[in-house]
Structure 1
Amino acid sequence: MAETKTKKKSGLISHGVAAQNRKARFNYTIKETLEAGLVLKGPEVKSLRHGRATLTEAWAGERDGELYLFNAYIPEYQGGVLSRFEPRAPRKLLVKRKQMRQLLGAVSRDGVTLVPLDIHFNDRGMAKVQLGLGEGRNKADKRHAIAARDWQRDKARLMREKG
């Protein structure tokens, strides 16, 4: 995905990231990413535009032959709207049938997990979910990732000080 612009109008996000799962790239080795559409109701979109959603415990999977986003928390919109919705309700993901077969085949065959990485708004203002095919990391892999990240930070600091 190319560089996205974030425009804020009185606290609203019209383009850019609305929610991010920052621990996903630490807990999983992401092999492949895919962008999927997200079926939302009006108040859910308004709540997302305020940037209050969380994806830390969310996952994607199959239900009745369709792909869904489970356990994503989108809080109720407090703007005086009468229609209420369930904050952790399963939300349908829109992907092409061929892509869905490939994803679900990889999940069943390779034992990988469909992890939502972020929810963002594209240039047309449509809510999209970036899914990643993730393979779980063990403790040793996580320690290695922490050490590599620390070394990159120290290396950048040394380069700044030298020149």
Structure 2
Amino acid sequence: MTFRLTLTVNGEPRAIELDDPRVTLLDLLRERLGLTGSKKGCDRGQCGACTVLVDGRRVNSCLALAVSLEGADILTIEGLAQGDALHPVQAAFIDHDGFQCGFCTPGQIMSAVGLIREGHAGDDPERVREAMSGNLCRCGAYIGITQAVLDAQARMAGSAQGGAA
């Protein structure tokens, strides 16, 4: 039995045929679409390394069945930058050393983008740490991650205000 679904992945419409309804979004992205930025850490939704945005919301892609996402708009780390121009969150992670080994970084960045888009980042480091608590970093780069989220939030708020003038 074949399951057909249509998704938009990083702005590109994709028609996909699956032979197994148990395929997770993470496995679809990594194994069938070649988008390996989202990492398979725990494969249980506990580490956040696989975080992507589905219709603008943060999702652990290892827990989402691909067949349940018919018509969804998926944004992965590969679709975040605009050509050579990094997304403000990506630039802030570099500026604040928000990574060490880099394994968790794609999930951290996607979670941060979602957090900022949701309007929950604010300017309080503790609030950011709590909102990002679903993303684990084995290296302990949490100070840089928190600083990067706060900086990106401020940059994005400033550019939104500057564009509205």
Normalised to the residue count of structure 1, the TM-score between the two structures is 0.28
More helix by share: 2
More strand by share: 1
Normalised to the residue count of structure 2, the TM-score between the two structures is 0.28
- Pick 1 or 2: higher relative contact order, CA cutoff 8 A, min separation 6: 1
Computing the radius of gyration over CA atoms, which structure comes out larger, 1 or 2? Answer: 1
